[in-house]
Chain A
Amino acid sequence: MTQPLTRPKRKNPLKKTRLPLSPHAVRSRAAHGLTAAAAQGRFELQVCLDCKAVIYPVRDACPACLSARVAFAPVANGGTVLAETTVRVSTEPYFRERVPWRVGMVKLDVGPVVIAHLHGDVLEGQRARLQFKLDKGGAPVAIALPEKDTPNMADDPQWREMTCDPKFRRVLITDGRTAVGQAMAKAFSQAGAATVFVGVADGWKPFAGMDALPAIERVEIVPLDLTDTESVRELAEQNGGRVDILVNTAEHVRPGGLIGRHGLTVAREEMDIRYLGLVRLAQAFGPAMGARGADGVNSAAAFVNLLSVHALVNWPAYGAYSATEAACLSAAQCLRAELRPGGVKVMNVFFGPLETDWFQTIPPPKVAPATLANAVVDALKKGLEDVFVGDVAEDIRARLAANPKAVEREIGE
């Protein structure tokens, strides 16, 4: 049975911070099919389209019939642990400081044998569920979980290396003036975050929900104006070393495309709050987070971007907004590469119209702020990289996978 984590003591400021290392992250190009599935939390293996053989390790041809038509597809993830070992001596520095480390061979019911990390509650000879996760190096790895959930299973040290669980971590919500920011504060508090810093710009200006916010357990209001480089820098100087999960809730939603608007005022505001806000956060908090990816139970773990799913394909009714979101998505990809060596995940959460004032005229389905917040916490617990929340986001994801040109045309009609 997994021992529950205990809340880490205050860090001794004289002690050296353990620097982040990564497990070996090089993969063949074909193996990034696993990366794609793991990033979204799907369990997929290659399946031969001609003879239906399920294939692992990843190959460029089917070993049963030599077909080249091998595609990743969801398959059942149940299996049996054939044998286990506890690695006590490792050649890799990352594992050397984490041994003993358990691995095993899992015979999947669908056929292949997979060498996998073993969750502490999985034993030799037992049934297990296999999942692919992105490890600290951002590379896909299999981990065998107990067939049924066990008490405290999220606290297993090997499992926690793959996830970004908010438990005992310190979170920064960058904008608490919004409904999403407030829902996020509540969700992280409930998820056991040690501290939930909530940024509020212009604190003297009243806003809806301002009284309830400080009443949430372990919430600490901090001054933060994402359009003010100094303000972001100041907060990072005070708290940058204590932010383990950063959730950027800044939003700026205005309807309208390009030719219907006069001048650049709104476009500049959008870019200032969303794109430049992200850049300011990355510059101020990125270095400290990237250095603290292996800093114990409350190591830095994730930088969360909330993005309109229309970052992926422009929605002309909110065309300028979509373009800004696309800029943020591109920056997030850059940030992901920059934070990967630090063992910090950059999680992009895509959603359609929210149940908020700025989407007042849009018919349902829409995403409630609490739904979005819970989805973010859930995805962090699972260690995902790309998350689609709600029916609109899911619809666009599926349509883009099938025919991006069709989406572009239909969304503008």
Chain B
Amino acid sequence: MSDKPSMRKSYEGVVICAPVTVPYRRYSTNAAHWWIGRALSALTKQSGLRPADIDGLSVSSFTVTPDTAIGLTQHFGLSPRWLDTVPLGGAAGMVALRRAARAVQAGDAEFVACVGADTNHIDSFRRNLSSFSRFAQDAVYPYGAGGPNASFALITKNYMNKFGATREDFGKICIAQRENALSVPHALMKKKLTMDDYLSARAISDPIHLFDCVMPCAGAEAFLVCREDTARSLNLAGVRILSTIERHNAFPDDPIQIRGGWARDIGELWAMAGVRPDDIDFVETYDDYPVIVMMQLEDLGFCGKGEGPEFVRGHSLTNDGSFPHNTSGGQLSVGQAGCAGGFLGLVEAMRQLSGAVLGTQVPDARLGLVSGFGMINYDRGLASGATILASAR
């Protein structure tokens, strides 16, 4: 694989700030535009900026059709000089962050508003599934129409067969996340989850059961990218970006997905940040299904390939545990609001690192790792990304 020494420039001088979450709803009668509007409004309120100050806009959404980002500039009365669309689902936050940070660093924009938002109408989930991608339309959706549940069921089954993961291992991840969500006001699922509840939940697509699945919903997440000195002058708590990686369609020759693109770029992620896995205070993985969490723990370097189940068994994953993970409850407890799901971990990490949590603070959180994953185009998730963030306090 890779591995020339990295020639990449650091993100020094750039921060992300103003973490915004527009509280999720299971179904929304509002369009995606409404959710994006609420997020932009909250960004200006939190930062003290006027809308006219926002000169960069990055939008991630699946449900904003027939508009694209350009239509949104007029819709919201913005005149940005830098514009981006990142409809990359679970990797959207990582990718939006990388691009916006470079734009700010280069001086192409001063304030980039990054928004991930999707609505969820009655029946819109089904219609989005059938037309999600050309391969999904031709070669996945006609097969039982189990949607991502069925696709990840196959990946999960294979992972269990190959590496000995059990339903209890996946259950431990889900239960810890629910524990973390109990104190988060906007989490959609806030009933304590026991192992009995988890194991006896109804089967959705074997071996996936109810609590392995995220709940599709409507919501928005957003943040602002600007220079560190600018943030300081505005009295905004900034979070530093130590390193990032991004990879699409990695390992196309793996017959069935057992790893994501992180495995290919992981050396660069740690080298660029200049830290080691032991240094990390908490981790936000992309948790559309717990098997993907386990793959990330392996591929991001916290344990070896196939050691995910053992790693989970050996740690407590709650915010007060030995390995604080998905500290706001993740999508499994908060809900999956389309592309906002790709922002959720990032926004929560910003809160943990700036001491502005909505739920429970991870003690002494200075370094956090956030990872994204998404776009199951055919048989596997194609997009992966990760970033290591540091408190600027």
Contacts and interface: CB of A to CB of B under 8 A. Distances in A.
Interface of A: 23-28, 31, 56-58, 63, 82-92, 94-95, 99, 101-105, 107, 113-117, 124, 135, 137, 139, 141
Contacts of A135: 142
A147 to B, nearest CB: 19
Interface in B136-181: 137-147, 149-151, 153-155, 157-158, 161
Nearest to B151: A115
Contact of A82 (B134, B141, B158): B158
Given A27-B137, A124-B157, A86 B205 contact: yes
A139 B140 CA distance: 13
A34 to B, nearest CB: 8
Contacts of B142: 23-25, 135, 137, 139, 141
Nearest to B207: A85
A83 B161 contact: yes
Given A88-B205, A107-B255, A117 B158 contact: no
Interface centre among A26, A87, A92, A99, by most B CB within 10 Å?
Answer: A87
Interface centre among B134, B142, B161, by most A CB within 10 Å?
Answer: B142
Nearest to A102: B144
16 contacts: A23-B145, A24-B130, A25-B142, A26-B130, A56-B139, A57-B378, A85-B146, A85-B153, A88-B204, A89-B202, A91-B145, A91-B146, A92-B126, A103-B144, A103-B150, A115-B139
A259 B134 CA distance: 52
B323 interface: no
B138 A91 contact: no
B256 interface: yes
B139 A85 contact: no
A95 B144 CA distance: 6
B135 interface: yes
Contact of B379 (A27, A115, A124): A115
Contact of B206 (A56, A88, A105): A88
B203 interface: yes
A106 to B, nearest CB: 10
A91 B161 contact: no
Interface residues of B, number: 39
A274 B333 CA distance: 65
A299 B214 CA distance: 38
B252 interface: yes
Contacts, number: 122
Contacts of B135: 57
Given A31-B138, A57-B378, A115-B379, A83 B143 contact: no
Interface in B76-117: none
A353 to B, nearest CB: 40
A136 B161 CA distance: 33
B206 A85 contact: yes
A91 B126 contact: yes
Contacts of A95: 144-146
B144 A117 contact: yes
Given A28-B138, A57-B378, A83-B157, A92 B145 contact: yes
A401 to B, nearest CB: 24
Contacts of A89: 146, 149, 202, 204-205
B129 interface: yes
Given A88-B203, A103-B150, A113 B138 contact: no
A188 to B, nearest CB: 30
A101 B144 CA distance: 6
A115 B143 contact: yes
B111 to A, nearest CB: 40
B205 A27 contact: no
Contacts of B137: 24, 26-28
A84 B158 CA distance: 8
Contacts of A25: 142
Nearest to B204: A89
A47 to B, nearest CB: 17
Nearest to A86: B206
B251 interface: no
A94 B130 CA distance: 13
Contacts of A82: 154, 158, 255-256
B27 interface: no
Given A82-B255, A83-B161, A90 B130 contact: no
Given A86-B206, A89-B202, 20 more contacts: A24-B130, A24-B141, A57-B139, A57-B378, A63-B252, A82-B154, A82-B158, A83-B155, A85-B207, A85-B208, A88-B206, A91-B129, A95-B146, A104-B154, A105-B154, A115-B140, A115-B143, A117-B144, A135-B142, A139-B142
